[in-house]
Amino acid sequence: MSGTGEQAAPVLRIEAARLEGFVHAVLTAIGCDRATADAATRAMMHASRHGVDSHGVRLLPHYVSVFNGGRVNKRPDLRVVAEMGAVATLDADHAHGALAAYTGMDKAVELADRAGIGAVAIRNSSHFGPAGAFAMAAAERGFIGFATCNSDSFVRLHEGAERFHGTNPLSLAVPVEGQRPWLLDMATSAIPYNRVQLYKSLGRALPEGTASDIDGVDTTDARRVEMLAPLGGEFGFKGAGLAGVAEILSAVLTGMKLSFDILPMGGPDLSTPRGMGAFVLAIKPSAFLPVEVFQQGMERYRDTLRASRTTEGGVVMAPGDREWAEAERRAVDGIPVDPTSAEAFAGFAAAHGVEWP
């Protein structure tokens, strides 16, 4: 039973390739160009494949709304507007945040391949979804990748009682030869806001100490949530400080809006671009030491971590292990689609003549 006294609603499970095709077809049907549909689908499916459902395909209805409303450009003209040495600035022309971030990371990798390190500040972007997708885009090419973005205020400060930071994610992905990357992908809030929405759809109670009502008092009822807590519980000043790191790199450094100046993700204004920034970084390990030495160090670090002594019944995981295990399960069982999303998807199928799997 859920914490709201209701039976949790069942979910559908859809084979990944079919779900991916459906999402891409819907974005194409509403007029997105190929690059936008590719990037948005790729990011959502990264999240859905790896168990980050709050940032997966359940975002499709929101993205359709902001594309059709005019907030996000369906056919943007992304341009590098400044470049010096190992750094560049990308103007995303109010593109979907995933297209902006993937394009920025491609540029960062290009710079790092030449200079050893590459950093790209991204302007005029929008909600980009799972930060880990963009860090992974570098790791898959043999580079260490870092990605961050701020977002509209929804997280209180430590001992605060009003919204201040966004959920402001940070992600770092590190390649490990012959294995899946070491992947850290975290919100600097106790939980991401989209998880509140997901739990509301599923009728589930939130974990203790992760969200607050309008007065800043903790609540586990997703329907009463007015703000999130910063990461760290009683030591939430650490999460608030990390949120500031994301704020400085993605807003101050790019000249874009601070969290408390960004229009709310959910509207009601879905026509005005939000003026968001993001920041991505790529590092070429072989620029610092022989790549073999780097790989030996990463393997020893991760292998020793996984083999370390645990508490009774405990399991030690390296960052990313939980996601890789979930990806393997979902490759067999399919990707879960919550009831609210399934209803919206059926509506898209009927409206646009797209087959709903």
Q: What is the CA radius of gyration of the chain?
A: 20
Lookup: tokens for 10: 């069942």
Chain position carrying tokens 């963009």 = 134
Note the pLDDT tens digit of each residue in 231-255. 998 889 999 999 999 999 999 999 9
Note the pLDDT tens digit of each residue in 199-238. 888 889 999 889 999 988 899 999 999 999 999 988 899 9
Q: What average pLDDT does range 166-194 have in this prediction?
A: 93
End-to-end CA distance of the chain, in Å?
A: 29
Note the pLDDT tens digit of each residue in 248-275. 999 999 999 999 999 999 999 999 999 9
C-alpha separations of 245 from 31, 130, 234 in Å: 36, 17, 20
Asked if 281 and 117 touch (Cβ cutoff 8 Å), the reply is yes
Q: Is the pLDDT of residue 11 over 80?
A: no
Considering only the top CATH level, what class is 13-289+334-352? alpha beta
Helix (H) or strand (E) holding 165: strand 163-165
Q: Tell me which residue of 194, 121, 178 sits closest to 292, measured CA to CA.
A: 178
Q: Which residues contact 87 (CB under 8 A, 6 or more apart)?
A: 111, 118, 119, 120, 121
Give 56's pLDDT tier (boundaries 50, 70, 90).
very high
**Four-point Cα dihedral 188, 191, 197, 202, nearest 10:** 160
Mean pLDDT taken over the chain: 94
CA 251 to mean position of chain CA atoms:
17
Q: What average pLDDT does range 318-324 have in this prediction?
A: 94
Q: What average pLDDT does range 164-177 have in this prediction?
A: 96
